[in-house]
Structure 1
Amino acid sequence: MRYRTIGADPATRREVSVLSLGAMLFGSATDEATSYAILDRYVEAGGTFIDTSDNYAFWVDGGQGGQSEKLLGRWRRSRGVGAEIVIATKLGARPLSPGTTGPGGWSGPARWSPPPACPGTRCSSTTAVTCRTAPT
Structure 2
Amino acid sequence: MPNTPAIRFAETGGPEVLQITEVELAEPGPGQALIAVHASGVNFIDTYHRSGLYSVDLPFIPGSEGAGIVEAVGADVTDVAVGDHVAWVGVPGSYAGHVLAPTDALLSVPDGVSLDIAAAVPLQGMTAHYLVSDTKPLQPGDRCLIHAAAGG
TM-score range, shorter chain: under 0.3
Larger radius of gyration: 2
Structure with greater proportional strand content: 2
Higher relative contact order (CA 8 A, sep 6+): 2
If the length of structure 2 is used for normalisation, what is the TM-score?
Answer: 0.23
TM-score by length of 1: 0.24
